[in-house]
Chains A and B, each alone.
Chain A
Amino acid sequence: MKTIGDIPDRQLLLFKSCMVGQEYPGVETSTRYAFDRLGVDYIINDEQSCCTGIGHYTDIFEGLTTTAIAARNFAVARRCGHPNITCLCSTCYAINKEACEVLNTDNEIREKVNSIFREQGLEDLVYEKDDMNSKANFYHAVEILLSKASQIQAKKKFDFSGVKAAAHHACHYYKVKYLDVLGNPENPQLIDTIAIACGADMVRWYEDRTLTCGMGFAQLHLNKKTSLQVTKTKLDSLQKAGVELMIHMCPNCHIQYDRYQPVIEREFGAKYDTVHMNIAQFVALSMGADPYKVCGFQTHSVPLEGFLEKHGII
C-alpha cells in the first residue's frame, strides 16, 4: 500500500502520453501549469517513446517488445537523473510498473531484452536487476497532485463551491495493481480529495461508481455496441445523480466519455447534461489557468462553455 508520505516531488520524469498528446494536449499543459506552481521538480524528455500500451492491449505489440521499450524508457529516465516516472495516463502507469516487475523478477526475459540491446550496440540501454523499483519509481501525476492538495487549496484563485461533481477513477491505476495504490481500491478517493480541495461538492456514491468507462481498448472497435452500452450505463447513473461535471484521470476514459457522449446521445436517443474534464485541468482551472491556452478545452467534443459561463469563469 502506498502512503501519501511516500509520494516524491523531486526527480520526476513527466512521462508523455500518446493519447494525451494527440487528443487532449491540455491535460499535459494543465499538469505542467500546476506542477510549476506547486514547486514540483520535473522534466520532460523528448528521448522518451510511447509505452506501447494501446498497441499492447489491442494485440499489436506482444509482451517482449513492450518490455524492451519500457527498459529503454527506464534508461532514458535514469540517464537524465529523473528516475521517478510520473504518468499522465493510467495505462502508461500500469505498463511501466508491470514491465519493471517483469524485468526485476524474470531473469530469462531480462536477459533476452538485454541481448537484443547488446546485439544492436545499445549497451547503454541494458537493464540490470533492480535498476528501477516497481513500487518506488512509478507514479501517476494525480498522486503528485494529491500529495499537494493542501497547497492547491491555499493557492486556488477560483473556488468551485457548489459544483456538483463526481469522480471516475482509472481501472489501470486502481484495478491492475490494486494492492499498491493510494487508499482503498474499492472506494477510491484520489480525485475526490483533490477536487474537494478545489471546493467542488463531490457526490459520495453513485450507482455503478466502480464500473469502467467501457472503452476496453480493442472492445471499443470490435464490440462497439457493448462498449458504448457500458459507457451509457455510467452516463445514465451520473444523470440520475444530477452530476454536472465528471472528473477523470486517464485519457482513455476521457476519450470514451467526451468523444462518445455525443455518439451515444445520437445512437441511443439519450440526452446528457454532464461535462467532462481531467483532474489536472480542474486543478489548473482553479489555480487560475486559461481555459483554452492552458486547459485546451477547445479540443473537447462535449462543449464546456455552458459550464464555464455558469460558474463565471468565462
Chain B
Amino acid sequence: MNTALNKTAVFICHCSGNISDHIDINFLKKTLKAEGISVLDYEYLCSSEGQALIKNKISEGNLNRIVIGSCTPSKHGTLFKKCIQEAGLNGAMLEIANLREHCSWVHPDKAEATEKALSLLRGKLRRLENSQPLGEIKVDITPKALVIGGGIAGITAAVNLADNGISTYLVEKESSIGGNMAKIGKVFSPDKLAEECAMCSLSPLMNEVVANPKITLFTWTEVESLSGSAGNFTVRLRKKPRYVHDNCTGCGRCSRACPVMVENEFNCGSVDKKAISLSFSQAVPKTYCIDPDKCLQINGETCGKCADVCKSGAIDFSQKEEIVELNVGAVIVATGFKEYDATQKPQYGYGIFKNVITQMELARMLGINGPTKGALIRPSDLRTASDIIRSSTDTFESDSSSEDSSDHSDDTGTPKRIVMIQCVGSRDEKEGGNRYCSRYCCMAALKHSSLIKRKYPGAEVTICYVDLRALGFYENYYRAVQDMGVRFVRGRPAEIVEKPDKSLVVRIEDTLNQKIKELSADLVVLSVAMIPSQGTRKIAGVLNLSQDESGFIKERHSKLKPVDSSLDGIFVCGTAQSPKDITDTIAQAGLASIRGRAFITDSPKALANEIPTFNPLLCTKCEECFKCPFNAISLNESDRIVVDPLVCIGCGYCTELCQNGAIQIASFTKTQLKAEIEGELKEGDLLGFVNSGIASLTCDNIGSSVLTYPSNVKLIKVPTSLVLDKDLLLHAFKHGASSILFLEDPPDSPKAEVIYPLTVSHFEKLKKEMGDLGNRLYFKKAYVPNTKGLAGAFTSLAREGEMIG
C-alpha cells in the first residue's frame, strides 16, 4: 500500500442520478477500498451539506490530498477548491475527475462507463501523488488610471473614473481637450427631431475635467512609451512647450498683438488664427499656446509683441520640452478617428475642385464659431466672403484691411444646390477604400441637410446614398428630413465635373430607375469614412495592442468584452475601437471606465499560479525562453530569470523553447502528466490532450449535447499542447495509447491567434521526431458549436485505434 494514499480520499458525487444511474458507484468504492483508499459518496457534493462532508472528513482523517469525482471542473472547480482551502489544504492538493461530461453522459453502456470512471479516478490519484502545494501569487494594483485622448470618449471616461473615486490622468496631444466633437456645431439627437448644440453639452464636461480634483490634465502632451505590466504600468509622457505659463488669464491681448496669421487646424485648415492663440474660444485649459513653427521670435526674428502686451508675464520663449513619468494601474485608450482622405477618390475632385468639401468641413462652416461664422458659402467665393465677416465681426485687428466688400449682399456665394455623397471610402471593397460601414455618416448628412434647409429654405439638398442607415429611433429623424423636401438618389456617383464658373455636375446612375442623371451642384459634400486617427495607430504600436485589419484597436470579445483590449489592464472606447457616433461613444466610454475601475479596485489581485517554474540547477541562462510571445519572461535586477505572473498565461511555449528541461508549468509538470497517463490509460485507448480553454469546453459540451463516443477515448487536460514533448508521447504509447490527438483552441481570440500557430508547428515537429509513431498523432481544432463533429472524430479515431490494437 502506498503511504501517500493513507491521507488521500476520493469523494464521488451522484449528481442526482446523472452520474450514479450510469456508473456503478458501489463497484468503484469496493475496488478502490480494496486498494486501501477511502472512498465516500454523496447525493450532491456541490451542496453546502456536501461541502461540509468534505471538510469534516478532511479534519477527521487528517487528509491532505483529495480527488473528487463529479461534473466538469469548469462548473464547480472553484467551489471545491475553496472548500478544501477552508479546510486548511493547499488548492493544488485537489484533483477533479470528470465523471459526468467525460463519462456517464457520453458512454451509455454502464459497465464501460464504470470501467472508464475507475481509470479516470486512478489517473487523478496517481497525478495527485506527484503534486506539490503552490503558493498564491498576488499583486498590488496602482490605484490610478490613465486616459489617453481628450475627445468626448476620453473626457467621459476620465470624469466617470474620477466620480468613482479613481485618481485619473487625462492626456491630450492638442493644446485643448474637446476632440472632434468640439468641431461639430450641432449634433443629432435620437429622441428629438432637432439638432442640439454640441458645445452646450461638451463645454460643461470639459470644465468639469479641470474642476475635478481627482483629474490631472496634460494637454499638448503625447505618450512616449509604456512599460511594466497590468496593474503597474509606467508611462512616459512628452510634454511639449506651449511657451505660455499656466498663469495665463486667457485675455487674448497676445493674440491681438501677434502679427502672424496661421492655418487653423480646428477650422479645417482655413488661415484665420494667429501664431499665439487658443485652438477655439471654449478651449480647456484656457491657456494660450504658441505655434513654434510660425512664431517669429522663436524662429530667430525679433518680435516679442505678445510678451510686451501680456500683463501676467505668462509668456516664456525659453520654455523647454518636459518628460513626465507616471505610475498607473489601468489605461483607457480613447484616441479617436480621423476623416478618410478623399483625395484617394480623384473622380470626386476633393482637393482638386474647391467646392467639394467633407461633412466635417461643412460642420465647421455651419458652426457659428467656424471660418464663416455659420454662413454657408461656396469655398471658391470664400476669399471675399471672409473679408465681409472679418470687417463685420472685428475678431482681429485685421492687417489686410477691408478694401471693398460693401457691395456684397448677405447671400453672396450661398450655394443653392447642395449634393451630398455617402459612403466615400466606406462600404468600398476597392483598393484604398474600407469595407466597413462608418455608422455616423448617414445621420451626419441628414443633420446637415436639415440645418441647411432650416437656415436656407430655398436651398435644394440631394443626398446620393447606397443604403440609408438610420437605426433605431433615428428613423424618425430620417422621416422628418424627408418631409423637409430633401431629395434622395440611390446610387454611388461615378464622377464629378467642374464647370468654368466653379459649379459642379455630379454624374450618377439612379439605381432605382436605372437612369443616368447629371445633378448640378454649387457645393458637393462628401460623407467620408471614419478611419483610425494617427494617434490611435501610434498608441496601438506604443502599447502593443491588437488591431483589426483597418487599424482600429481590437476588443477582446465583441459581445462579452467589448472594451477590453488584447492586454490586461488596458481598455479602449470610442472611435479608436470602431466607427461610431457620439451617443454610442459616450455609452462605451462609461463602460470602459467601469471596467478600468473594477480592474484597479480588485487589489491585491490573485493571479493564476499555473505558470512556469525554473529549475536553477538546469538553467544555463541561454535566454531562449525570452522568445515568449507575450514577453512574460525576463531577467530581474539580481540576474535571475523571472516570469511576470500578470502577463503569463501558462501556455507552456517556454517549456518547448528550453533545451535543458529547466522549465515546467506548475500543476502540469512532466511527472504529473506521466503519472496521470499511467493511471488512466488502458491498451488500445485514444488519448486526447485537451487545451484547457475552448477545446475543453467543447469536450464538455459533447456530454451536454447527449452525444456519445467510445469509452476508450481518454481526455487529459493541458494548458496547451505546447507542454507535451517526445518523452511524454512515448510514455503514453508505452502505456497503451493506440493514437494521440492534440485538441487545440481555434485562433479566434487575440491570445489564441498567437498560440495556435505555435501549437501547429509544435505538432508538426513532434510528428517528425516520432518517426513511424508520428502517423498515430492527430491534431484538431475544437470549435464550441461543433460538438457533433468532435464526437464523430473521437469515434472514428478510437475505432481506428481498435483496428491497430
Chain A interface (Cβ < 8 Å from any Cβ of B): 1, 178-179, 181, 183-187, 204-205, 207-210
Please name all residues of chain A whose beta carbon is closer than 8 Å to the beta carbon of B346 when the two chains form the complex. Answer: 186-187, 204-205, 209
Which residue, A183, A185, A205, A207, has most C-beta atoms of chain B within 10 A? A205
Q: Which 4 A-B pairs have the closest CB atoms?
A: A184-B432, A184-B431, A205-B346, A187-B346
Q: Write out the residue numbers on chain B whose beta carbons fall within 8 Å of the beta carbon of A1.
A: 431
Contacts of A209 in B (CB 8 A): 346-347
A64 CB to closest chain B CB (Å) equals 31
Chain A's closest residue to B343 (CB) is: A187
11 further contact pairs, Cβ within 8 A, besides A185-B430, A204-B346, A205-B352: A1-B431, A179-B430, A183-B431, A184-B430, A184-B431, A185-B431, A186-B432, A187-B346, A187-B347, A205-B349, A208-B495
Task: Count chain B CB atoms within 10 A of each CB in A178, A186, A187, A204 and give the residue with the most.
Answer: A186
Judge whether B344 and A184 touch: CB under 8 Å.
yes
B497 at the interface (CB under 8 A from A): yes
Chain A residues near B432: list those with CB within 8 A: 184, 186-187
A313 and B346 CA atoms in complex are apart in Å by 34
Chain B interface residue number, banded: 10 to 19
B617 within 8 A of A: no
Q: Which one of B344, B495, B497, B498 has the greatest number of beta carbons of chain A within 10 Å?
A: B495
Query: How far, in whole Å, are A209 and B494 apart by their CA atoms in the complex?
Result: 11
Query: Is A210 in contact with B347, judged by CB distance below 8 angstroms?
Result: yes
Tell me the bound Cα distance from A201 to B56 in angstroms: 92
A169 to B497, CA, bound (A): 19
Nearest residue (CB) in B for A1 is B431
In contact, A186 and B352 (Cβ under 8 angstroms): no
CB distance from A239 to the nearest CB of B (A): 15
For window 167-226 of B, CB contacts with A under 8 Å fall at: none
- Give chain B's interface secondary structure class: loop
Choose from A186, A204, A210 the contact partner of B430 (Cβ within 8 Å). A186
Q: How far is the CB of B501 from chain A (nearest CB, A)?
A: 15
Q: Is B454 interfacial (CB-CB < 8 Å)? A: no
A186 to B430, CA, bound (A): 8
Pull 8 A–B residue pairs with CB atoms less than 8 Å apart, ordered by A: A178-B430, A181-B431, A186-B346, A186-B432, A187-B347, A205-B346, A205-B349, A209-B346
Most chain A CB neighbours (cut-off 10 Å) among B344, B347, B349, B352: B347
B interface residues with partner A (beta carbon < 8 Å): 344-347, 349, 352, 429-432, 494-495, 497-498
B345: chain A residues at CB < 8 Å are 186-187
Expressed in whole angstroms, the minimum distance between the Cβ of B420 and any Cβ of chain A is: 19
In whole Å, how far is B568's beta carbon from the nearest beta carbon of chain A?
Answer: 36
The answer to whether A210 touches B431 (Cβ under 8 A) is no
Residues of chain A with a CB closer than 8 A to B494's CB:
210
Residue of B nearest to A2 (CB): B431
User: Given the complex of chains A and B, what is the CA–CA distance between A118 and B432 in angstroms?
Assistant: 46
B277 to chain A, nearest CB (A): 34
B689 CB, min distance to chain A CBs, angstroms? 35
Contact between B431 and A207, CB atoms less than 8 A apart: no
- Bound together, the chains give a CA A178 to CA B429 distance in angstroms of 10
Task: Give A142 Cβ to nearest chain B Cβ, in Å.
Answer: 17
Report the separation of the CA atoms of residues A56 and B432 in the bound assembly, to the nearest whole angstrom: 33
A186-B347 in contact (CB<8A): yes
Distance from A254 Cβ to chain B, minimum over Cβ atoms (Å): 24
Q: How far is the CA of A253 from the CA of B154 in the complex (A)?
A: 55
User: Is the beta-carbon distance between A204 and B352 smaller than 8 angstroms?
Assistant: yes
Within the complex, what minimum Cβ distance (angstroms) separates B136 from chain A? 52
Q: How far is the CB of A17 from chain B (nearest CB, A)?
A: 27
Q: In the complex, what residue of chain A is closest to B431 when comparing beta carbons?
A: A184
Q: CA separation between A282 and B349, bound complex, in Å?
A: 28
Question: In whole angstroms, how far apart are the Cα atoms of A184 and B428 in the complex?
Answer: 12
Query: In the complex, what residues of B have CB within 8 A of residue A181's CB?
Result: 431
Given A184-B344, A205-B346, A179-B429 contact (CB < 8 Å): yes
A1 to B431, CA, bound (A): 8
- Say which residue of B344, B430, B497 sits within 8 Å of A207 (CB atoms): B497
Residue of A nearest to B494 (CB): A210
Once bound together, how far apart are the Cα atoms of A252 and B497, in whole Å? 26
Chain A residues in 8 Å Cβ range of B498: 207
- Per a CB cutoff under 8 Å, which of A183, A184, A204, A210 touches B495? A210
Tell me which residues across on chain B come within 8 A of A187, comparing CB atoms.
Answer: 344-347, 432
Question: With the chains together, A183 CA to B432 CA distance in Å?
Answer: 8
Give A163 Cβ to nearest chain B Cβ, in Å.
21
Determine the distance from Cα of A1 to Cα of B433 in the docked complex, in whole angstroms.
13
* Nearest-neighbor residue (CB-CB) of B353 within chain A: A205
Interchain CA distance A184-B498 in the complex, whole Å: 22
Q: In angstroms, how far is the closest chain A Cβ from the Cβ of B504? A: 11
Task: Give the distance to chain A from B505, nearest Cβ to Cβ, in Å.
Answer: 9
| Nearest A residue to B429, CB-CB | A179
Q: Please measure, in the bound complex, the distance between the C-alpha atom of A286 and the C-alpha atom of B582, giving whole angstroms.
A: 55
Cα distance, A204 to B351, chains bound together (Å)? 11
Query: What is the bound-complex CA distance between A181 and B344, given in angstroms?
Result: 16
Bound form: Cα–Cα A204–B349 in Å: 10
Chain B residues closer than 8 Å to A179, beta-carbon distance = 429-431
A179 to B433: give the CA distance in the assembly, Å.
Answer: 12
Residues of A within 8 A of B352 (CB): 204-205
Cα A135 to Cα B429 with chains together (Å): 18
Residue of B344, B346, B431, B497 with highest tally of chain A CB at under 10 A: B431
Residue numbers in B under 8 Å from A183 (CB-CB):
431
